[in-house]
Amino acid sequence: MAMKNKQKKQEALSVSRLINEVLVNQLSIPFRQIVNDTTFSKYTGSKRPDILISEFEYDGTNDKQYIENLVAYAEAKDDCVIGDKDWEDAKKQGIIKSKKLNLPYFIVTNCKKTIFYNSKNLNEISLNGNPIREFQTIDIFRLIKNRLTKDAELTNILTNVDSISAISEAIFNKKLWELANIYRGINFKDNVQKIDFTIGFIALEYFEEKEIIDCKKDNSKIYWSECNDTNDTKLVGNICAYISNLEQETSFGEFKNLMDIVKNLISGINGEKPLISKKDVKLIYETIDGMKPLHGTGFDLFGAVYEMFANAKEKKDFGEYFTRRHYTHIFSKLLLQDELFFNRNRKFNIIDPACGTGGFLTESFKVLKNNWEKSGTLDENAKKFLSEECFYGIDVRGENISRTRLNMFLVGDGHTNMYNDNSLQPQKKNTTKLLNKKYQYVLTNPPYGNGTIKANTSSISSTRCEIAFMCKIVELLEIGGKACIIIPDGVLENPTLKKLRYELLEKCNIDAIISLPKFAFAPYTKEKTYAVFVTKRSEETTKIQSKPIWMYIIDNDGLANSDKRFPTKLRNNRNGWMHDEISGWVSPEGEEMPGLLESRWLCFDDKDKKGTVWIDEKGERISLRKGGNIDIATILNDNYYTLLPEYYLRPYEAEYITLQEFDKKLSDIIVSLKKVLK
């Protein structure tokens, strides 16, 4: 009996950690919408479901509302393996309870591995052909429930690119959480070493996937899957041999620095004891092996690892190079919205001249691949174009280029044309040639602050990095080419830059200016930033653009407006995210919906309504103007050609008081000062 009670306590602890660390912290499911081991006698009798997730919070009295709006149900069995007696018993419970709960599917988990089952035919459920092996976001639960309600026999659910990212990243982050637990006993030099080790190890698995997809796997050589061995010493030796082989491969040798980090930490340097024990290497290998498949994951892998392991100081170190993934995704999607079909007779190119770790490039790859898959034009020519011809990246830091190449390699390829140099003053022949070309698309978040290279403009004299890069981007664009650049507020409002703004209006059509929240790039900077979308006009026409500029203010991006930037997790059950204007979502009916910014893009105007109403993080009702078209005449009538959305959409209104009120306030201040000075 004592042993049985101990097992129950251990299982309860494992389930509690799963709920708090995975469902709540990683997948952003509100805690009060999750019920653990609670009796709902009217529905399941004395048999308690282990984990229930509903659209509504449970307050202990709303059984009917909670159960009728369930999106997921799971049976949890700690310390069992797939297919054993306990696992099969959990499946039997799942069949019975899911029918009583009126759910068309159920989940079985041992808190390490998870399988989704169709309640009717007991087949495993897959998403886009890949079996589900981890818990998902509430959006994906909704999607599964909706599709199976319409077709009870369905086992493979197809979904769009945004949901694919959510699925892939949910699985990936769960595995990172498992790695973090293993890493607690490893004394890494710093988190940067931990990040590079993790990415290097993951890349070893991905390379085999890519060789199989490209039909290039050589069965005479050792690969990732052949490294596994019950003997931990042999496993380490096999991984080191695999790395040595990869470093001789022309297609992977360029990642030698990252692979050497892995080899040195698991085998030791110059006869020294390895930092990572053979036992931990085995656990790390098995965890990363569980991430498969990684090909076409559709998200910024480096960014995910970075967010998991980097501390505040390291985030500051990376600050000028790292843009959060939900921003790079939506801005790439908006800029490339017209590229719906691959046309072999109309090829184009995309460059990020300050690419950092490749966030904009990986998201652009993902957007184009998805667009062409949907239009049925992703043939072999299109794949070759994406892999070898479309993408270009330059960054002044060599270690960032290594990360960009690997990031592109992991997202599906396109890593060929990534170079280490200074885009403002290139020193190398290859990059000089690249920077003398014209491009159809430019996406970038350049560094800000004082630099040493003068901006290429006759309107002002400045060595500010953001100004020099903005001028460089206009120079890089071909006529009709489009760009998205993240810039600080000073470029749009500083009176001394009046002539620069006029020059930009002469050379380009400014299509849109998006105001980002103050904390968009916290904790490394709280400088107010904006995404500016432009289309280059002919240099022969220097007349100011005539069409209005669409301006929009993002007040909420799904993360708390504070230094810590944790997910707010606040949603409206019927209308998507309450505090996220960027992310797509799935409705309670299981329909995939675009995010607010995407649905409002270039057409939203709340001028006649005198504002838009929303609820802020404190639960207070806010009513302010958010977007609309600003006539060029209005901008030119301003003394400084100010381009800030807030200036036009939310103009400051002075609050005036009477002389009597002023005298009263002044008297109160004098009285207060006298009290302090006594």
Block residue for tokens 């039997």: 92
Within-domain flag for 451? no
> How many Cβ atoms sit within 10 Å of the Cβ of residue 678?
5
Within-domain flag for 443? no
Report which of 20, 6, 134 is spatially closest to residue 78, judged by C-alpha positions: 6
Within-domain flag for 356? no
Residue where a domain stops, chosen among 289, 322, 346? 289
Residue 624 host element (H or E)? strand 621-624
Interval 164-189 mean pLDDT: 78
**Higher-pLDDT residue of 378, 673:** 378
Within-domain flag for 417? no
The pLDDT of residue 574: 46
| HEC secondary structure over 647-671 | HHHCCCCCCCCCHHHHHHHHHHHHH
From the number of C-beta atoms within 10 Å of its C-beta (0-12, 13-18, 19+), residue 612 rates as: middle
Asked whether residue 142 falls in the same domain as residue 268, the answer is no
CA–CA gap between residue 461 and residue 452 (Å, rounded) = 12
Asked whether residue 121 falls in the same domain as residue 200, the answer is no
The pLDDT of residue 161: 46
Interval 291-318 mean pLDDT: 67
Work out the pLDDT band at 491, boundaries 50, 70, 90. very high
Interval 310-335 mean pLDDT: 72
Residue 537 pLDDT exceeds 80: yes
**Higher-pLDDT residue of 647, 157:** 647
Angle, vertex CA 464, rays to CA 461 and CA 468, nearest 5 = 75
Residue 320 pLDDT exceeds 50: no
C-alpha to C-alpha distances, 63 to 30, 48, 52, 54, 589, nearest whole angstrom: 17, 13, 12, 11, 21
Work out the pLDDT band at 437, boundaries 50, 70, 90. very high
Q: Which of 122-131, 542-551, 599-608 has the lowest mean pLDDT?
A: 122-131
**Average predicted confidence (pLDDT) for the chain:** 86
Asked whether residue 68 falls in the same domain as residue 101, the answer is yes
Encode pLDDT of 556-586 as tens digits.
Answer: 887 777 767 666 655 554 445 567 888 877 7
Residue 105 pLDDT exceeds 90: yes
Within-domain flag for 218? yes
CA–CA gap between residue 286 and residue 182 (Å, rounded) = 11
- Prior bond of 30 cis (ω within 30°): no
Asked whether residue 188 falls in the same domain as residue 138, the answer is no
**Higher-pLDDT residue of 537, 177:** 537
Residue 95 pLDDT exceeds 70: yes
Within-domain flag for 67? yes
Q: Which of 219-223, 334-338, 418-422, 614-618 has the lowest mean pLDDT?
A: 614-618
Backbone angles phi, psi at 115, to 5 degrees: -130, 140
The pLDDT of residue 140: 85
Which DSSP symbol is given to 559?
B
The pLDDT of residue 130: 75
Asked whether residue 228 falls in the same domain as residue 144, the answer is no
C-alpha to C-alpha distances, 77 to 49, 159, 176, 179, 515, nearest whole angstrom: 12, 30, 22, 21, 48
Asked whether residue 154 falls in the same domain as residue 237, the answer is no
CA–CA gap between residue 395 and residue 446 (Å, rounded) = 10
From the number of C-beta atoms within 10 Å of its C-beta (0-12, 13-18, 19+), residue 297 rates as: buried
Return the top range by mean pLDDT from 221-230, 322-331, 490-499, 558-567. 490-499
Residue 523 pLDDT exceeds 70: no
Residue where a domain stops, chosen among 159, 183, 205? 159
Q: Which of 113-122, 151-160, 501-510 has the lowest mean pLDDT?
A: 151-160
Residue 63 pLDDT exceeds 80: yes
CA–CA gap between residue 169 and residue 156 (Å, rounded) = 19
**Higher-pLDDT residue of 413, 192:** 192
CA–CA gap between residue 31 and residue 35 (Å, rounded) = 8
CA–CA gap between residue 319 and residue 524 (Å, rounded) = 5
Residue 80 pLDDT exceeds 70: yes
Beta strands 439-444 and 477-488, pairing class: parallel
The pLDDT of residue 215: 82
Interval 131-149 mean pLDDT: 87
Asked whether residue 138 falls in the same domain as residue 257, the answer is no
C-beta of residue 198 within 8 angstroms of C-beta of residue 191: no
**CATH assignment of the domain containing 12:** 3.90.1570.30
Q: Which of 239-248, 252-261, 568-577, 582-591 has the lowest mean pLDDT?
A: 568-577
Interval 646-664 mean pLDDT: 80
529 Cβ neighbours under 8 A, 6+ residues apart: 486, 487, 488, 489, 516, 520, 521
Three-class SS state of 351? strand
Work out the pLDDT band at 493, boundaries 50, 70, 90. very high
CA–CA gap between residue 627 and residue 604 (Å, rounded) = 6
Asked whether residue 50 falls in the same domain as residue 180, the answer is no
Asked whether residue 43 falls in the same domain as residue 148, the answer is yes
Asked whether residue 131 falls in the same domain as residue 190, the answer is no
**In b/e form, how buried is each residue of 345-378, taking b as 16+ CB within 10 angstroms?**
eeebbbbbbbbbbbbbbbbbbbbbbbbbeeeeeb
Q: Which of 31-35, 238-242, 247-251 has the lowest mean pLDDT?
A: 247-251
Beta strands 126-127 and 114-118, pairing class: unpaired
Residue 247 pLDDT exceeds 50: yes
Tell me the one-letter amino acid at 8: K
The pLDDT of residue 573: 47
Interval 41-70 mean pLDDT: 91
Residue where a domain stops, chosen among 250, 272, 289? 289
Interval 417-443 mean pLDDT: 94
Within-domain flag for 217? yes
Work out the pLDDT band at 494, boundaries 50, 70, 90. very high
Residue 300 pLDDT exceeds 70: no
Residue 531 pLDDT exceeds 80: yes
Within-domain flag for 240? yes
Q: How many CA atoms lie within 13 A of 222 on its CB side?
A: 20
Work out the pLDDT band at 439, boundaries 50, 70, 90. very high
Block residue for tokens 């009263």: 664
C-alpha to C-alpha distances, 631 to 70, 487, 551, 637, nearest whole angstrom: 49, 22, 11, 10
The pLDDT of residue 319: 45
Report which of 673, 555, 530, 675 is spatially closest to residue 620, judged by C-alpha positions: 555
The pTM of this model reads 0.79
Encode pLDDT of 347-356 as tens digits.
Answer: 999 999 999 8
Asked whether residue 150 falls in the same domain as residue 179, the answer is no
CA–CA gap between residue 283 and residue 175 (Å, rounded) = 11
Domain extent at residue 66: 2-159
Backbone angles phi, psi at 510, to 5 degrees: -85, 110
Interval 358-366 mean pLDDT: 90
The pLDDT of residue 640: 95
Asked whether residue 142 falls in the same domain as residue 190, the answer is no
Q: How many helices (H) and strands (E) does the chain have?
A: 25, 23
The pLDDT of residue 519: 78
Q: How many CA atoms lie within 13 A of 47 on its CB side?
A: 14
CA–CA gap between residue 61 and residue 347 (Å, rounded) = 61
Number of separate domains in the chain: 2
How distant is the alpha carbon of residue 418 from its chain centre?
Answer: 21
